Amino acid sequence: MTLPYEARVAVVTGGSSGIGLSTVELLLSQGARVALCARGEGRLKDVVSVLARDHGADRIISRAFSVLDSDAVNAFAADVEASFGRCDLLVNNAGQGRISTFEETTDEAWRAEYELKMFSQIYPIRAFVPMLRQSKGAIVAVNSLLAYQPEPHMVCTSSARAGVQNLLKSLSLELAPEVRVNSVLLGLVGSGQWTRRFAEREDQSMSREEWYGNLARKKGIPLGRLGDPSEAAAAIAFLGSHAASYITGAQLDVSGGLARHI
């Protein structure tokens, strides 16, 4: 796949693992300069040293902080502007899902989940919008099919994700015509979250292939497997590029056919 990212600058939150890391790699390979962040400094340093070796250190900025720290997000935007002078794409990817039913979810957990889902969008968008307006850039939010297809065992994640879709739709109107705002709706993608759940599997004798295969069957994924992070990255990079120049306020389902709504 070739996408027009030469001379472009992209920001990817949660870029040290899984879908975020795959997106960073793809954007670098398409010629972009990329700024990435994550909380864990050690892992971020490790991945950046490999990325710098493969793509050049001068094309990468990395900072360790939580996207829920608005001052740190603003400082990151200032660093991107000082070093790269522009921002063409913001990929809001940082985060994780919460597994709990309504009965199990405490008030504190509800607040934490809503804070993560909403402010992991709000703070970076607020910080990068001035640059995105100038470059006529794009925002791509990494969201979940749970927004439209809630699951009782992920009750607060599902409802918070629906709120995020609503916010993105409003933003696609408020930020038009300068900035396009789209999202990808993921089903099950075999990245960090599923690697952790695989490590905690009940039957430790099961191989990764067997466990993932069973999971895909149990969930009824028509394509019969979990997605690869690179497949999510391809959709993100498409929506963020000029190849999608007439697309805003849209969501692209990357779920192997798991979406049941029309």
Residues lying near ligand NDP in the complex (CB under 6 A) are found at 13-20, 37-40, 43, 66-68, 93-97, 142, 144, 186, 188-189, 191-194
What value, to the nearest 5°, has the Cα angle with vertex 83 and ends 95 and 230?
40
* Cβ-contact 166, 141 below 8 angstroms: no
CB of 226 within 8 A of CB of 145? Answer: no
CB of 37 to ligand NDP, least distance (A): 6
Task: Give CA–CA dist 254/223, Å, rounded.
Answer: 11
18: region left, alpha or beta (phi > 0 left; psi from -120 to 50 alpha):
left
> Strands, E, within the chain: which ranges?
9-13, 33-38, 60-64, 89-92, 138-144, 180-186, 251-254
CB of 9 to ligand NDP, least distance (A): 19
Nearest distance in Å: CB 118, ligand NDP? 12
Query: 81 or 151: whose CB is closer to ligand NDP?
Result: 151
Q: Which is nearer to ligand NDP, 39 or 169 (CB)?
A: 39
Q: Select 42 or 177, whichever has its Cβ closest to ligand NDP.
A: 42
Tell me whether residue 66 or residue 134 sits nearer to ligand NDP (CB atom). 66
Q: Which distant-in-sequence residues (6+ apart) come within 8 Å of 203 by Cβ?
A: none
Nearer to ligand NDP, 64 or 247 (CB): 64
Burial (0-12, 13-18, 19+ Cβ within 10 Å), 165 = middle
- The conformation of residue 202, written as its DSSP 8-state character, comes to S
In the bound complex, what is the minimum distance in angstroms from residue 136's beta carbon to ligand NDP? 26
- 184 neighbors 254 (Cβ within 8 angstroms): yes
Taking the least distance from each CB to ligand NDP, the nearer of 93 and 100 is 93
Whole-number Å distance between alpha carbons of 61 and 69: 18
Report in angstroms how near the CB of residue 125 gets to ligand NDP at its nearest: 14
| Nearer Cβ to ligand NDP (147/175) | 147
CB of 97 to ligand NDP, least distance (A): 5
> C-beta of 6: minimal distance to ligand NDP in Å?
26
Q: CA-CA distance, 221 to 218, in Å (whole number)?
A: 8
C-alpha dihedral sign at 245, 83, 71, 65: positive
